[in-house]
Amino acid sequence: MTCDAGEEEVLFLNRSRFLVAAGAALGGISLAKAADAQTSVDLPFVNGQRPLVAFPQKRPLLEVTPRPPQLETPFAVFDDGVLTPNDAFFVRWHLAGIPQSVDASMHRIKVTGAVQSELSLSLDDLATMPAIEITAVNECSGNSRGFFAPRIPGGQWGNGAMGNARWTGVRLRDILSRAGLQAKAKQVQFRGLDGPVLPETPAFKKALDLDVARGDDVIVAYLMNGQPMPLLNGFPVRLIVPGWYATYWVKMLAEVTVLDHVDDNFWMKTAYRIPDTPTASVVPGTTGFATIPINKLNVRSFVTNIADGATVGAGLIPLRGIAFDGGSGVRRVEISIDGGRTWRNAALEQDYGKYSFRRWDARWDARPGVYDVAVRASSNDGVTQNATPIWNPGGYMRNSIETYKVTVS
């Protein structure tokens, strides 16, 4: 935060002037407080009304479903800071057999399969290993599914099935090294303490290729923003796969199984598959295309201080928001007030690492009228968000440019 008002660059854009500021945003508009007295939120799609319900260790969140729980973060929370508070962090479980009491001192992570020696690690064992901290976005594969057109069955999320936290734990690689891999090792499979209600339902298991599992940044985390994580976010330990979709971030991690084959369990072979196309997109209704397991996050950006449909007073309006991608880092964020016809750079705030939300700032000297405010991000690996949404039958990976109708009075 080094720029003061005197260093602002004044830009002209159609009818309005844009001012870009690399500094603390102006005060003024805050949507964060507006949610306090609400009892529900209307997401802007059919059947989008969500009651605000406080689950254990959580503030009131958008209840998508109570059992198994799927809870969405109110979007205004993302305006409050670069880290998403633990009690506001989204929740998503697949199966209703969730332990409601977990004793950290009794918890064990069992390492079995194609290893030299099996392990049963306690949290005290993890405490003897080198600790790593990493700030990383955890985004649900189906975040924003409710906005797909045509609509898709599934968890009907708005944009709040994501969060950014500072995770502390030990490298998975160090655990695997301690066990020692057999030559035939091919993938590593993960399972938590949760289970299905019916024995016929496939238990939730996910797998990573060996090279991904042994990456520098994959950790078994026991702290979230410096605190024990809420039970609903995976207490006492959770797998963190920075840059990859949340489906791999197995909660209440209890079993690490080294496989000598590519995992063919339901949650890898059938669920969470995306089209094997450059942007994971197909024409709606297409069938018979090749698929691969979902993997890295694509690049996204949002405005966090002004909602779609907002009315604001004319004058200097702060615009701020977040951007992120799957681990190359955010290279540029651009703002448009004419629906994407012209763009100007926003200022990027402090860098918390290539997997983190990157906050951005701009200021808009707005004159009365109706505007389509848009934001787009570009990543260091050379990808820029598109205006045209992708589509796939799972409703995964939505990342098109967000546009906000704003009335300036």
Partner 1 sequence: MKKPWFALAASLSVIGVGVAIAANAAPPQGTVTIEMPSDRGMSFKPGPGVEIAQRYCLTCHSSAYVSIQPRLTTAQWTAEVKKMKNAYGAPIPDDQVSTLVTYLATEYGL
List residues near partner 1 by CB under 8 A.
45-47, 53, 55-57, 63-69, 95-96, 98, 100-105, 123-124, 126-127, 130-135, 146, 151-153, 155-156, 168, 196-202, 216-217, 222-223, 226, 228, 231-232, 235-237, 266, 270, 328-329, 331, 351-356, 380
**Residue 356 near residue 164, CB atoms below 8 Å:** yes
- Closest approach, Cβ 73 to partner 1, in A, equals 17
- Closest approach, Cβ 235 to partner 1, in A, equals 5
Angle at 10 between CA 8 and CA 14, to 5 degrees: 150
Closer to partner 1 by CB, 243 or 275: give it: 243
- Closest approach, Cβ 328 to partner 1, in A, equals 8
Closer to partner 1 by CB, 112 or 380: give it: 380
Closer to partner 1 by CB, 268 or 317: give it: 268
User: What is d(CA 126, CA 171) in angstroms, rounded to the nearest whole number?
Assistant: 10
* C-alpha pair distances (Å), 331 with each of 51, 221, 301, 346, 376: 37, 28, 12, 11, 11
Closer to partner 1 by CB, 342 or 380: give it: 380
Closer to partner 1 by CB, 98 or 337: give it: 98
Closer to partner 1 by CB, 90 or 371: give it: 90
- Closest approach, Cβ 134 to partner 1, in A, equals 5
User: What is d(CA 295, CA 198) in angstroms, rounded to the nearest whole number?
Assistant: 28
Tell the residue number behind the tokens 């064992």, with chain if given.
Answer: 125
Helix/strand/coil for 373: strand
- Closest approach, Cβ 95 to partner 1, in A, equals 8
284, two tokens? 């709606």
**Total Cβ atoms within 10 A of residue 145:** 23
- Closest approach, Cβ 399 to partner 1, in A, equals 20
Q: Which of 101, 233, 110, 247 is nearest to 167 (CA)?
A: 233
Identity at 70, one-letter amino acid code: Q
